[in-house]
């Protein structure tokens, strides 16, 4: 891996430990994510992928009894420092969940939700951003005639893209995706993957996936996690063709999990 | 050794259930058979819309009591609904789970306090405060509204909490992950998703308020008149039945049963609306 100045890394995780009460779910994790790249986290169930992802937008703050030590910098700012505005952080680091979770509101209200939360009320501005975001998530043509319909009426894959559109509307820098395709069929999955590759022109993406083909298809960097540790982190091609660690190799070749 | 077999248990349970249901049906039947003929004889319009209630001269207009019941109930809503909903939001979204575990059962316990106790507090504490500060007799529409407003709190709070807690976590997470604050999440997503349950809690509270008798008799003053102000003494439909039943005979007695029929119908309508609202909530998952 060639040397790069740390300024190009938008996410920099250093020596991160996380405890759920007494249980240590992350152990001395280091990770770097580069701007406009897709970084994938793989590993067997329960190894801490979602936990690590949820540290990046501080969603773990919502869980009682979570203790975190170590450092996470996004754009060189320590996101766990006292001066961090968590709502600002979450606008900058958006998240797509495993199960599509549109709000029980209309398609339009879903897309502009983040803007309204941010205090934008101007109708023309909202309309413009809504259209742009829906186009950005490849959903505009399907929904442009029924923006007042409930978002929950859409088929699952469109719901997931609605959730992506809702993020694009607030213009984050980073998009976190926690197994975004696990409830979708293969065709819908392909479509989301293509969308991700399109989105990385403007955004930095970190994705958790169980699907190794998916990681190898879409990601530029891959981290392999096991029992709370980051076993290996490297360019995706390296991880999948010549892993440095024997544990990684076992997992990749399907001997594990 | 088995005393009663599976079949036997089933039969006993069935008999119990049937007797419970049939006693309710019998009560309903009784009230209707006693009250409905009067309504036809006296005329529904005369009965429901006339202002004069004077059993001695054969005048049985219950309009003042209907209006009093409506005002007392609406007033109780104005007092109880905002308090109850705010309390439910606080407990479900802001309070720690421990506080919730302690406070919710406590509030539900409030429902078990006999209404005569609420009435007693109303007479001893509330009525003098109203009389001394706002004027009027003290025992009044306002006192009724406040006491009933408090009495419906357990219903409103506990059903609202249940419906707020039934809102999937993923909605809240989605909202918070977009940078919304807890309050924004609560009023822009959670409450909207829980809306039908909250509406149901209010309607059930309404049913409770309109049917309440003892506390209202004690605090509302019981004069038969259409209230002009919140400080007037009023008599509700329920109070009217309870106050006069013991000595009523003939037409008078039938008129009281007919009043019961009207109450019965109102409460049935309210409960049906509430159960439709609750069913909507469950269907919208
Ligand atoms: N809220 C919580 N409280 C306590 N322990 C938790 C909590 N959430 C997760 N854990 C534990 O932390 C570990 C890591 O969980 P995490 O959800 O991050 O795994 P994961 O790699 O995302 O798994 P999966 O692939 O199944 O989604 C697991 O052992 C899990 O049981
Ligand atoms: Mg996970």
From first CA to last CA, the distance across chain A in angstroms is 28
Strand B59-60 to B53-54 pairing = antiparallel
Query: In CATH, what is the architecture of A9-99+173-252?
Result: 3-Layer(aba) Sandwich (3.40)
Query: Which pLDDT score, from 0 to 100, does residue A176 have?
Result: 95
How far apart are alpha carbons B63 and B45 in whole angstroms? Answer: 10
Distance (Å) of CA A154 to CA A95, A100, A159, A168: 20, 11, 6, 19
Q: Is B188 on the interface with A (CB under 8 A)?
A: yes
Q: Kindly tell me the sign of the dihedral angle through the C-alpha atoms of B206, B208, B211, B216.
A: negative
Question: Ligand 2: distance of its center to the CA of A243 in Å?
Answer: 23
Query: Which pLDDT score, from 0 to 100, does residue A255 have?
Result: 57
Q: Given B179, B180, B193, which is nearest A104 (Cβ)?
A: B193
Residues of A with CB under 8 A from a CB of B: 57, 59, 62, 64, 87-91, 94-95, 97, 99, 101-105, 113-114, 116-118, 163, 166-167, 170
Q: Residue B2: which pLDDT band, with cuts at 50, 70 and 90?
A: low
Residue A73: how many other CB atoms lie within 10 Å: 18
Helix or strand (DSSP H, E) at A167 = helix A156-168
**B contact residues 109-168, partner A, Cβ 8 Å cutoff:** 168
Distance (Å) of CA A217 to CA A164, A185, A196, A201: 20, 17, 11, 16
- Contact between B257 and B28 under an 8 Å Cβ cutoff? The reply is no
Residues written for chain B: 285
Q: Is B100 on the interface with A (CB under 8 A)?
A: no
A38 Cβ contact list (under 8 Å, min separation 6): A196, A197, A200, A205, A206, A207, A218, A219, A220, A221
Residue-wise pLDDT tens digits, B86-99: 999 999 999 988 99
Question: Ligand 2: distance of its center to the CA of A140 in Å?
Answer: 30
Contact B189 A91 (CB under 8 A): no
How far apart are alpha carbons A96 and A175 in whole angstroms? Answer: 7
Average pLDDT over residues A74-84: 89
Q: Is A63 in the pocket of ligand 1 (CB under 6 A)?
A: yes
B103: left (phi over 0), alpha (psi -120 to 50) or beta: alpha
* DSSP 8-class letter at A152: G
Walk me through the domains of chain B, giving residue ranges and CATH numbers.
Answer: 46-283 (1.10.3720.10)
* Nearest protein CA to atom 25 of ligand 1, as residue: A45
Q: Which atom of ligand 1 is nearest to the CA of A47?
A: 21
pLDDT at A3 over 80: no
Distance (Å) of CA B36 to CA A27, B24, B44, B64, B109: 77, 18, 10, 20, 37
Q: At what angle do helices B195-211 and B250-283 cross, to 10 degrees?
A: 170
Pocket test for ligand 1, best of A47, A55, A229 (most atoms within 8 A of CB): A47
Residue-wise pLDDT tens digits, B153-211: 999 999 999 999 999 999 999 999 999 999 999 999 999 999 989 999 999 999 899 99
Query: Which pLDDT score, from 0 to 100, does residue B3 have?
Result: 67
Query: Which pLDDT score, from 0 to 100, does residue B1 have?
Result: 52
Q: Residue A103: which pLDDT band, with cuts at 50, 70 and 90?
A: very high
Q: Is B174 on the interface with A (CB under 8 A)?
A: yes
Which of A85, A100, A111, A117 should one mutate to test binding to chain B, selecting the residue with the greatest count of B CBs within 10 A?
Answer: A117
Query: Reduced to 3 states, what is the DSSP secondary structure of residue B246?
Result: coil
Distance (Å) of CA B7 to CA A50, B1, B19, B20, B67: 52, 15, 18, 20, 53
Contact A90 B189 (CB under 8 A): no
Mean pLDDT of chain A: 90
pLDDT at B284 over 70: no
Residue-wise pLDDT tens digits, A10-55: 899 999 999 999 999 999 999 999 999 999 999 999 999 999 999 9
Tell me the chain A residues in contact with residue B179 when contact means C-beta distances shorter than 8 Å.
87-91, 114, 117-118, 170
Residue-wise pLDDT tens digits, B27-77: 999 999 999 999 999 999 999 999 999 999 999 999 999 999 999 999 999
Q: Is A129 in the pocket of ligand 1 (CB under 6 A)?
A: no
Give the residue from A147, A176, A138, A141 showing the smallest Cα distance to A39.
A176
3-state SS, A6-72, equals HHHEEEEEEEEEEEECCEEEEEEEEEEEECCCEEEEECCCCCCHHHHHHHHCCHHHHCCCEEEEEEE
**Weakest-pLDDT range from A100-104, A166-170, A250-254, B194-198:** A250-254
Average pLDDT over residues A156-170: 93
- Contact between B147 and B212 under an 8 Å Cβ cutoff? The reply is no
Strand A38-42 to A221-226 pairing = parallel
DSSP-assigned states of every residue in A176-197: EEESTTTTS-HHHHHHHHHHHH
- The C-alpha of A20 sits at a distance from chain B's nearest C-alpha, in angstroms, of 17
Query: Which pLDDT score, from 0 to 100, does residue B282 have?
Result: 58
Query: Which pLDDT score, from 0 to 100, does residue B278 have?
Result: 76
Query: Which pLDDT score, from 0 to 100, does residue B277 have?
Result: 79
Q: Rg of chain B's alpha carbons, rounded to an integer?
A: 22
Residue-wise pLDDT tens digits, A185-208: 888 899 899 999 999 999 999 999
How far apart are alpha carbons B6 and B174 in whole angstroms? Answer: 50
pLDDT at B272 over 80: yes
- Contact between B233 and B221 under an 8 Å Cβ cutoff? The reply is yes
Q: Is A48 in the pocket of ligand 1 (CB under 6 A)?
A: yes
Question: Ligand 2: distance of its center to the CA of A135 in Å?
Answer: 29
Average pLDDT over residues A93-117: 94
Question: Ligand 1: distance of its center to the CA of A46 in Å?
Answer: 5
Q: Distance between alpha carbon A43 and the CA centroid of its chain, in Å?
A: 16
Q: Is A49 in the pocket of ligand 1 (CB under 6 A)?
A: yes
Contact B176 A90 (CB under 8 A): yes
pLDDT at A245 over 90: no
How far apart are alpha carbons A134 and B118 in whole angstroms? Answer: 57
Query: Which pLDDT score, from 0 to 100, does residue B283 have?
Result: 56
Q: Residue B122: which pLDDT band, with cuts at 50, 70 and 90?
A: very high
């Amino acid at each position: 891996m060639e040397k790069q100045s740390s300024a190009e890394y938008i996410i920099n995780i250093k020596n991160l430990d996380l405890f759920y009460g007494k249980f240590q779910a992350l152990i001395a994790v280091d990770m770097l994510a580069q701007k406009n790249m897709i970084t994938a986290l793989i590993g067997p169930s329960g190894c801490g992928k979602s936990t690590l992802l949820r540290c990046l937008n501080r969603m773990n703050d919502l869980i009682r009894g979570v203790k975190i030590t170590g450092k996470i910098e996004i754009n060189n700012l320590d996101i766990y420092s006292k001066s961090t505005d968590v709502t600002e952080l979450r606008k900058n680091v958006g998240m797509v969940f495993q199960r599509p979770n549109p709000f029980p509101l209309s398609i339009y209200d879903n897309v502009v939700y983040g803007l309204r939360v941010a205090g934008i009320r101007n109708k023309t501005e909202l309309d413009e951003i809504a259209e742009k975001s829906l186009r950005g998530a490849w959903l505009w043509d399907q929904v442009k005639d029924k923006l007042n319909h409930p978002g929950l009426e859409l088929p699952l894959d469109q719901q997931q893209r609605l959730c992506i559109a809702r993020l694009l509307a607030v213009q984050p820098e980073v998009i976190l995706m926690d197994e975004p395709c696990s409830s979708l069929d293969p065709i819908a999955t392909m479509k989301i993957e293509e969308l991700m590759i399109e989105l990385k022109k403007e955004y930095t993406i970190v994705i958790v996936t169980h699907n190794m083909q998916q990681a190898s298809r879409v990601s530029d960097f891959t981290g392999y996690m096991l029992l709370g540790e980051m076993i290996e982190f490297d360019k995706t091609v390296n991880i999948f063709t010549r892993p440095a660690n024997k544990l990684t190799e076992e997992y990749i070749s399907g001997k594990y999990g | 050794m088995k005393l009663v077999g599976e079949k036997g248990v089933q039969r006993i349970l069935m008999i119990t259930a049937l007797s419970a249901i049939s006693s309710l049906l019998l009560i309903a039947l009784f009230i209707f058979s006693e009250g409905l003929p009067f309504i036809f004889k006296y005329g529904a319009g005369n009965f429901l819309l006339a202002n004069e209630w004077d059993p001695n001269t054969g005048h049985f207009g219950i309009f003042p009591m209907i209006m009093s019941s409506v005002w007392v109930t609406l007033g109780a809503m104005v007092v109880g609904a905002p308090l109850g909903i705010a309390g439910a939001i606080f407990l479900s979204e802001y309070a720690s789970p421990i506080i919730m575990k302690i406070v919710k059962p406590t509030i539900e316990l409030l429902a078990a306090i006999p209404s005569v106790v609420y009435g007693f507090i109303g007479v001893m504490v509330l009525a003098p405060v109203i009389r001394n500060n706002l004027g009027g007799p003290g025992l009044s529409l306002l006192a009724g509204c406040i006491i009933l407003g408090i009495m419906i709190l357990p219903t409103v709070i506990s059903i609202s909490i249940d419906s707020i807690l039934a809102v999937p976590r993923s909605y809240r997470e989605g909202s918070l992950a977009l940078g919304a604050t807890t309050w924004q999440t609560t009023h822009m997503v959670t409450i909207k998703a829980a809306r039908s349950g909250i509406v149901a809690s209010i309607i059930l509270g309404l049913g409770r308020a309109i049917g309440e008798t003892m506390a209202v008799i004690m605090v509302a003053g019981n004069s038969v008149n259409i209230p002009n102000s919140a400080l007037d003494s009023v008599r509700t439909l329920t109070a009217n039945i309870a106050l006069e039943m013991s000595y009523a005979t003939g037409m008078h007695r039938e008129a009281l049963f007919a009043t019961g029929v009207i109450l019965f119908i109102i409460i049935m309508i309210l409960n049906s609306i509430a159960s439709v609202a609750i069913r909507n909530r469950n269907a919208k998952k």
